[in-house]
Amino acid sequence: MNTQDWLAFTKGDDKAFATLFSVWWEDCYAYAFRVLRDDHHAREVVQELFIRLWTVRASLADVRDPRAYLFTALRNGILNMLASRRDPVLPLDAVNMAVDADPVHQKEARGQILYALEHLPEKTRRVFYLRHFEGLSPREIALETGSAEQTVRNQLATAFKKLQAILLHR
């Protein structure tokens, strides 16, 4: 896609948008699939990307590198999708807990996870608990704690990294 096509797209040209879509959809999907490892979610995040692009097209006229912008927006969409999932992202495999493991191993694994949680700072532990045990979204946690949504996302990422380090090195 050349600069003229990009500018035409930002002005609302349907054909330029179709060109943008046809040129980049496959690469975007492949990238999303590599990260998410799920066809449905990969298609969903790419679809949302192109919808978002069309919605904000007028503000994109100053973008000098459309490819870089596109993949940065896609990466952010993937991160948002991962952050908004309500299923736990705690690396349970790091403590060797299989679904069909015997109750003794499950109890030991839970103990290791609880031990790791106790070593998080209070605010980070609370945010992690609200996300993974209460199932709240980052937006809901931000409202409940009075923090900015991005602060909540940062605390979740920090909690995950610290828990992973504790669990892997214990």
- pLDDT exceeds 60 at position 164: yes
Q: Which segments within 23-152 are labelled E, that is strand?
A: none
Q: Is the pTM above the cut of 0.75?
A: no
Instruction: Tell me if residue 101 falls in helix, strand or coil.
Output: coil
Any idea which of 65-74, 83-92, 154-163 has the lowest mean pLDDT?
83-92
Mention every residue, 6+ apart, whose C-beta is less than 8 A from residue 151. Answer: 142
CB 36 within 8 A of CB 42: yes
* Per-residue pLDDT, 7: 92
Report all structural domains of the chain as residue ranges with CATH numbers, in order of start.
3-84 (1.10.1740.10), 92-168 (1.10.10.10)
pLDDT at 97: 41
